[in-house]
Amino acid sequence: MTSSLPNIEHKLTNTKVFKSTSVHTNTTPLPREIKRGPAIKLLHTHDFLLKTPPHFHNYHELPVPLGQRPPDPHLTSSIQHAAVAPTQYYEVKYIEPTLLSCFTRGDKKVCCKVAVTDTGSGIFVRSTRQRGGVFRKGFGAGMTVVVEQIWEVRYAEEKEWDGLELVERVRVEGLECLTGGVRKKYEAGWRDVHESIVKRLMVLDLGM
């Protein structure tokens, strides 16, 4: 089955103001016992997905931003077309004592604003975190890193595997001095996150 969501190629670009954008794809083959429908349903369980990353502390749901009407203005036309539910908003806190020290200035808590949109094949997640962990106007307001993730459960496109696979396409954008730590965090931890999702599917016996 061919994905209807945009195909993101690996790249790294820098602008004159030292902003950088990096894009990469993480793929995990799923056991044959797991079926596509239940796997997508698990991705739509936001509580589970928000708690999966390492260093998770807590979260709470946020109202729709004041004056904003659906669809979320950050959604591309292809994501809007694939969406099966309105975007939901959360504030998520992590405790990351060393990985993101450049954001926290020694404070262990990192605060992110997260928007999650369910799609027919998975979810689209847009996370925004700011230097110091506090969202504010004025000085420091531009010190923001945006992470966008497209999660899909699809039939493998490679000949080496003819079953289902979990695909996560990650785009990290922000000032170059800040994005490096975030990018390394995702590169180091994505296998553990994928493994948690697969284990959850197997334990719940959703695919059988």
- Span 157-207, pLDDT tens digits: 777 778 899 999 999 998 887 787 788 888 888 999 999 999 999 987 544
- Starting at the edge strand found earlier in the chain, the sheet holding 164-175 runs 11-14, 19-29, 164-175, 144-155, 122-130, 109-118, 88-95, 56-62
Q: Does 13 have pLDDT greater than 60?
A: no
- Span 119-149, pLDDT tens digits: 999 999 999 987 554 444 444 445 789 999 9
Contact 94, 68 (CB under 8 A): no
Q: Does 105 have pLDDT greater than 90?
A: no
> How does residue 108 score in pLDDT terms, banded at 50, 70 and 90?
low
195: how many CB neighbours lie within 10 A of its CB? 12
What dotted CATH number matches 24-203? Answer: 3.30.530.20
At position 124, the amino acid (one-letter code) is: F
pLDDT at 195: 95
Q: Does 71 have pLDDT greater than 90?
A: no
Contact 52, 199 (CB under 8 A): no
Task: Note the pTM of the prediction, 2 decimals.
Answer: 0.79
